[in-house]
Each structure stands twice: as structure tokens, then as C-alpha cells.
Amino acid sequence: MLLCNDIFLKERIMKYLVNSILIIILIVSLVGCDLSNDSDKEALEGMNKSQIYEHFKDKGWEIEFSYRVSDEREESNVFIQYMTYSERDEYAHVLVSATIIDEEDLFEIVDMEYDGPSLDENYFDMDYYTFDEESSVYIGGGGAFEVTYEDGHITEGGGCIDGDTSIFGYPQSVYEKITSNTPSTRYLNIDTPETYPPGEEEAWGQPATQYVCDVLRDADSIVLQTDPGDNLLGNHGRLLAWVWVLSPGNDEYELLNYNVVRQGLATVAFEFGAGETDVTVYDDIRYNEWMHLAQSRAESEFRGMFSEELKDPYWDYDNEGPHPERWPR
């Protein structure tokens, strides 16, 4: 009987010790993650996101923000409360109010005088492509040809994919060479932010898409021009081309590749030789140089994505994703 009592007593002592250790661990954890640090709370009252960031940057801390989109103040991203505050980890997670965007700061297409290259009629007499025996691939010939365009997004059977890719109706000799499923054309020398697939969308992708779709829809004529400095086809078997548009009321074609960058909706990219030969030249300036002029001018005039003030009207800046009400579906 005495032996049983000793065993029972030892078990109670062990349970007491285990519970005591757990309580100590809990207390230490709470001390290390103090959500009610009054001195820092008082220091953040009335601060906005930028000020809070600088506050913790001076302390050498890591800072993370969350947004309460239903809480709009006179100023954007004003401090509401701590989500986490850890002296031990030198980390703070702060909840701030919604981002307020002035309607005047929302991007709109600028009606500007065209200052890019013109399309020389001699290009219509040139070959659309040539075959390179050494590499066994088709190369652009520099030739220009008119195409047709069906208005609408690709999901509606139209030809608008995004800001740097479109579907056209091609001459049979060109159509037969395109191996992409759609079949689509990838604009030379530019890259616009993504609008697809879901989860990989980017800010400024939708304004670029809407701009290009609108220009193509309203165009009286559309001409594609291949380039002898690059392959005829790019990734996924898409045709690579300079896209020229004749808009209502205009007498001259304008280079859409140039205009997308000029509006601040794309950057010059994928420079693999296109626009760098003596074939694609206007006013003694190669097409690739014209493209860099477009970006330089857009940057100096703070157009589109090159502006610190302008905002993408289709983008939710609090949640870093497509705006649930404005993003086209």
C-alpha cells in the first residue's frame, strides 16, 4: 500500500513540474511578443505607412503591413494597431487604413502628337521572310503586309490577348508559317506587364491591354512588318513583328510598338537583333533606337508606369492584385 502511495505522489510531482515548465515557457513567449507595447503604440499614433517604415528602419527591425480596406481616413495607410510586436525577433506587423487614391492620379491615355517613325512604302515590295540554310530557321525579311483584325478578347473569339500579343488575319503564306495555337503575333522590342494567368497578374498590365485593344479596334488599317535582324517566329511559334496602325483621321501609319512604350505602358525588351539592321530604318535612325527614344521620352515626361504619382486604375494597391470591381473578367 505504501509503495502505491509513493508512485502516486511521484506522478503528481511530475505533472506539477511539467505544468510549471509550460507556464514558464508561455510567460517567456508573451514577454517576447508584446502586443501592448504602449511606448511604441504611442509613437505610431497618427503615422502613415512611410513614417512607420522609417521608424522601424531606424531601429533595424523587419516590418510588415496589412490593410483594412474598409477603414478610410483623410490620409492613406494610417496606423490602426499592431498585429504582432516582437522585441526578441525585432519584428513588427502593423495594420493600417485603406489606400486612398485621388481620381486625378488614375492613369488615362494621353492624346499626344506622334513623334515616332513612319512606314516606308518600299517595305511592301520586300520579302516577308527568308530561310536560313545554316540554322534551318525562317528569318524575317523586313517586308510589310496588311492584316485583318477581329475586335474582342481571345475568349470571345477576337484577337486581343494583351499589351504585346495579338491575333490577326494573315496572308496565307505567312499564316502557314505560324505554329502557335491561336495563331498570334508578338510585338517586337517591347514587354508589357502580365494580365494572365490568374495569380500572376501585374500592375499596369490591364491599361496596356486596354490601350492596344482600343487602338486595334478603331484602326482603319493594320500592317505587320517582319525584321531581318530576328527570326520570323518567337517563343511558342508566334510571329514576331512591328505593328503599324492607320488611325481614323491620320494620313500616315504609326508604329504601335513605339506608342505603347511612349504612353508609359511597356518597356523596351527582348532585343535580339530586331530593329538593329540597316533595313529597318527611318530618318537615319534604326527602329530599335526609336524604341529607346520612346522609353526615354516616356520616362522624362513621367508617363504611365514611369510616374511615381500615377496609379493603375485596374489595380488593388492594398491587396497587390487585380481590383475586384474594375478588373475586366
Q: Please, are residues 273 and 244 in contact by the beta-carbon 8 Å criterion?
A: no
What was the pLDDT predicted at 149?
A: 95
**311: alpha, beta or left, given left = phi > 0 and alpha = psi -120 to 50?**
beta
Q: Please, are residues 310 and 304 in contact by the beta-carbon 8 Å criterion?
A: yes
What was the pLDDT predicted at 103?
A: 80
Name the phi and psi angles at 153, rounded to 5.
-75, 155
What was the pLDDT predicted at 2?
A: 43
Q: Please, are residues 256 and 213 in contact by the beta-carbon 8 Å criterion?
A: no
What was the pLDDT predicted at 319?
A: 84
- Evaluate the CA torsion angle 130, 132, 133, 135 in order and state its sign: negative
Nearest partner of 171 among 216, 230, 129, 119, judged by Cα: 129
Tally the C-alpha atoms within 13 A of residue 270's C-alpha that lie toward its C-beta. 16
Query: What is each CA distance from 68 to 95, 183, 252, 319, in whole angstroms?
Result: 7, 44, 50, 10
What element of type H or E holds 191?
A: strand 190-191
Name the phi and psi angles at 42, rounded to 5.
-65, -35
What was the pLDDT predicted at 202?
A: 97
**273: alpha, beta or left, given left = phi > 0 and alpha = psi -120 to 50?**
left
- Pairing verdict, β 254-255 and 165-167: unpaired
What was the pLDDT predicted at 136?
A: 95
Boundaries of every domain in the chain: 33-100, 104-322
Contacts of 107 (CB under 8 A, 6+ apart): 207, 304, 310, 311, 312, 313
**288: alpha, beta or left, given left = phi > 0 and alpha = psi -120 to 50?**
alpha
DSSP three-state, residue 172: helix
DSSP letters spanning 112-165: ----S----GGGGGS-SEEEETTTTEEEE---EEEEB---SBGGGTSSEEETTE
DSSP letters spanning 57-77: HHHT-EEEEEEETT---SSTT
What was the pLDDT predicted at 203?
A: 97
3-state SS string for 217-274: HHCCEEEEECCCCCECECHHHCEEEEEEEECCCCCCCEEHHHHHHHCCCCEECCCCCC
Q: What is the mean pLDDT of each run of 10 residues along the chain (329 residues)?
A: 51 61 52 49 81 90 85 84 90 86 88 97 98 96 96 78 96 96 95 94 97 96 98 96 97 98 98 97 98 98 96 90 86
**CATH 1.10.260.40 applies to domain 104-322:** no
What was the pLDDT predicted at 50?
A: 87
